[in-house]
Amino acid sequence: MSYQDKSLTCSDCNTAFTFTVQEQENFASKGYTNEPKRCPSCREARRAQQQSAGSFGGGNYENRSYSSTPRKMFPVKCSTCGKDAQVPFEPRGDRPVYCSDCYRKTNPVKKY
């Protein structure tokens, strides 16, 4: 497919900008089907604003429930072999709890 320079209008600042042949080829190689809505300077400003706000693509990664503190582990005796083990949940007592070796034996990984 042969490309030609296109004149587009920025949706943010309403100025005309050229969508060059090289940019069109780059967009096509990345699989993009839409033309850019913003001029290069508004695109750069938007990227800088998103990165400084700690988000990119609409997601804010600062408010996640994940933390850098280690997970609380609970000591247990394996219901099968009796070995001491640690699990990342508090056992309720009404269900068996296994060490990692016995758990793998009773619940093998499913391959799809």
Three-class SS of the chain: CCCCCEEEECCCCCCEEEECHHHHHHHHHCCCCCCCCCCHHHHHHHHHHHHHCCEECCEEHHHCCCCCCCCCCEEEECCCCCCEEEECCCCCCCCCCCCHHHHHHHCCCCCC
Cα separation, 8 vs 39, in Å, equals: 8
Residue with the two structure tokens 């695109």: 43
Q: Tens of pLDDT along 51-107?
A: 877 655 555 555 555 666 788 899 999 999 999 999 988 998 899 999 989 998 888
The residues spanned by each domain of the chain are 6-56, 74-106
Give the pLDDT confidence score for residue 63 in this predicted structure: 53
Instruction: Provide the whole-model pTM.
Output: 0.45
